Every structure is written in structure tokens, then in C-alpha cells.
Amino acid sequence: MVRAFAMDLFERPETSDANLVCSPFSIAAALAMTRNGARGTTGDEMDAVLHAPQLAELNTSMNSLISAVEDVAGEQTRADGSTATVSVEVANSLWGQLDRTWEPDFLDALAVHFAAGMRLVDYEKDPTGAIDKINEWVSDRTHERIKQTVDADLIEELTALVLVNTVYLKAPWEMPFTPSLTRPHLFTRADGSAVAVDLMTTSIRLHDAMFGSGWQAARLPYAGTTLAMTVVVPDLGELGSLAELLGADGLEQVLVGFRDDEQVKLEFPMWRLVIDLRLSQVLIGLGMAKAFQNSADLSGMSMGGPPLRLRDVVHKVFIAVDEMGTEAAAVTAVVVQAVSARPPPRVFTVDRSFYFVIHDVVTGTPLFLGRVNDPSQEH
């Protein structure tokens, strides 16, 4: 389920040349929580996007996945007898408007399957306080790697609920790279230009490498080998989407298909990325449009009050890779707002040449008339 959702997500970026990092697991978890409050067509569209046949199976699957992911954490023994600690932490939370009545079934489902409890805040009278509490909670759960998740641009008086998922990982390599072998090297970008990077070097067995038509892949296991990073590198001149490279079942192929056994020298760059995404348009494009419309049916979330719709889905990711291992953190926040009886205000931005008239209101007599082409000049 999450693998299929991941491929859908990854094929939607606006430009294939840009860095892109996301946590399909985090996004799926946050949307699965939200799905528990969706009804009718809104719920059907969410099921289709999440590749979930029905809500009950979605809840069970996500609960099992969360447990399985958390179970790989702890002290691990490497093949050479050394030990290292792998950290994997998943957390979920709800932040609801304090004077709204929330459906008990909705709260129970999220408590049972996602260990998510409701925290009451006042978006209407104290949006800044609500923003600070959510951001502080996320910062704590991501070990301060993600400090700002929501801001005043997202949270307003119509906000009713924010559903949050965080994932934090810190994992040493099963076979750490030797720092003394790291050297400067040119890295070729998608447009053919080159940039200097620090290239790490180690040896792996061929059952941790795979060679396909137009691509090659390597698996870098973390301590204990229950987690790994798999890297897919297109051949020169073969740059395309992941689906074009690997085919419909390609992601599953490179995640489970490693076989043979001989030594391979692996050279891999050190890198660090921080990515900030707004996913509403991506999810609408995948077929989940109804949830963002005023006609959305999120009636399973609360009783009474104005109807609800999704305003946006915020996703932020931090990842750092070096000789010792990987540290990564992700947060997904689903922002739910009340449907206003008033249309949203039209934005009027004066950022180009304009005319003006200073006039008497009653008679309409123009006292001054002009055109401003450059407000920075005084004449």
C-alpha cells in the first residue's frame, strides 16, 4: 500500500531536476488518520489515493506498519560483532478547536490505531499559542531537526483541527565508510553541469547491488541489517522518472530483488537536505480533490458547527548522510478548517505600475490624479 502510494507521490514533482525528499510513510499515516473522519465521495477518493480497499483495512495496515517500523529500533549487533543503536520513533497527535464537539468514534479510532490523543487549543482567539504548541511538540519528536511546521499562513480563525505525524530515524551503517578514504569528486547534475562533493568509499557484496537496463542499484544496510538505504542510479543519458526506469513493479524489484555474491567497490556522496512541501495540489492531482472543496464530507470528525474541509497538507523533511550513517526526520500536518459562509477575501496586491486619484467622495471631484511607475524614485 505505502509502496504504491510512494510511487504516485514521487511521479508528481513539478520539475524532475529539483531535489526531492519525502516520507511516504509519514504522509500516509497523517492521511489515514484524516480518512477516519471522511465520508461519502470524500472517503472514497482518499481510499483510492492511499490504495486502501476500505477504512478498516487501512487502519489495521497502518497500525501494523507503525509497530513493525518501531520494532527495528534498539541496540543492533553488526556482522563483525560490534554493536550500534538504531533509533526509529513515530508519533501522532491531534490539535482540535476547544469549543468544537468531536465525534467519539473518530477519537477512539485514532487512539486505538494511531496512539493519537486530542489536544485542545484555541485557533480562534489564540492562533499564535496554538502554532507555538504544535511546533514545540513536533520539534521535540524530531529531536529539533524540524522546528517550524505550521505558521500564521496556515493557521487562522477558521482552523478547526490539525492532524500531525512525525517520524525520526538515526541509524549507523552496518559497515561504516572509512573517513580517511572520503575525497572531493565532481558530481554531474541532471542538466549536465558538475558540482564538487565529498565522495565516500566502501566495499559491499554484489547481493547488495543490482544492474538493470538503463540503471544500477545498491543497497546500503544499517546496523543489524533490518533497515537499509537502496540507491538507484540511471546510466548516463538515461535520466527519466523512477517509473520509466524501473517499470510498473520496479520499486518492489529493487527493494526485494538483490541476489548474487561478490565484492563491489561503492562510492557514494555525503549529503544533507531540508525539504518543505505543500501537498494539496499533488493530492488533488492524484484524485483526492473532494477533501479540499467546500463540499467535502468530513462529518465523521465532529458533531455540529460549520462543515469541514482540508486547507492544506504540509510536509517537511530533514536528512543527513555521512560516513557513520543517516539521520532523518519528517513531519506531516493535515490542516482542517471550517467552511466559511463568506467567500475568501480577494487578494489585491499593488506590485506593478498603477494610477491613482485623490478625490472628493460626495461629488467625485478629482483633486489629484497620477501614475506611479517606480515608487522608489522621488521624481
Q: What is the pLDDT of residues 160-198, one digit of tens each?
A: 999 999 999 999 999 899 899 899 988 887 777 888 889
The string over 45-58, giving b where at least 16 C-beta atoms fall within 10 Å of a residue's C-beta and e elsewhere, is: bbbebbbbeebeeb
Q: Are 73 and 89 in contact (CB under 8 A)?
A: yes
Q: Quote the percentage of the chain above a pLDDT of 70.
A: 80
Q: Full-prediction pTM beyond 0.85?
A: yes
For residue 254, pLDDT beyond 70:
no
The per-residue pLDDT for 288 is 96
The per-residue pLDDT for 30 is 97
Residue 253: band (very low, low, confident or very high) from pLDDT cuts 50, 70, 90: low
Higher pLDDT, 268 or 375: 268
Burial of 149 (0-12, 13-18, 19+ CB in 10 A): buried
Higher pLDDT, 252 or 322: 322
Residue 239: band (very low, low, confident or very high) from pLDDT cuts 50, 70, 90: low
- The DSSP annotation for 332-365 comes to EEEEEEEPPSSPPPPP----S-EEEEEE-TTT--
Residue 366: band (very low, low, confident or very high) from pLDDT cuts 50, 70, 90: low
- State how far the Cα of 41 lies from the Cα of 289, in Å rounded to an integer: 10
Which of 19, 53, 20 lies closest to 35 in space, CA to CA?
A: 53
Which of 35, 57, 81, 103 lies closest to 334 in space, CA to CA?
A: 35
Question: Would you identify the CATH topology of the domain 2-172+273-330?
Answer: Antithrombin; Chain I, domain 2 (3.30.497)
Question: Would you identify the CATH topology of the domain 179-269?
Answer: Alpha-1-antitrypsin; domain 1 (2.30.39)
The per-residue pLDDT for 310 is 97
Which of 66, 134, 123, 76 lies closest to 100 in space, CA to CA?
A: 123
Grid coordinates representing 142 are 524530531
The per-residue pLDDT for 15 is 44
Residue 351: band (very low, low, confident or very high) from pLDDT cuts 50, 70, 90: low
For residue 225, pLDDT beyond 60:
yes
Length reported for the chain: 379
* Highest mean pLDDT (candidates 133-137, 213-217, 240-244, 371-375): 133-137
Mean per-residue pLDDT, 61-90: 93
- State how far the Cα of 144 lies from the Cα of 135, in Å rounded to an integer: 10
- Give residue limits of the domains in the chain: 2-172+273-330, 179-269
Mean per-residue pLDDT, 233-261: 62
Q: Are 314 and 283 in contact (CB under 8 A)?
A: no
Element at 161 (helix H, strand E): strand 159-172
**Stretch among 34-48, 91-105, 186-200, 314-328 having the lowest mean pLDDT:** 186-200
Question: In the predicted model, what is the mean pLDDT of the chain?
Answer: 85
For residue 363, pLDDT beyond 70:
no
Mean per-residue pLDDT, 18-47: 92
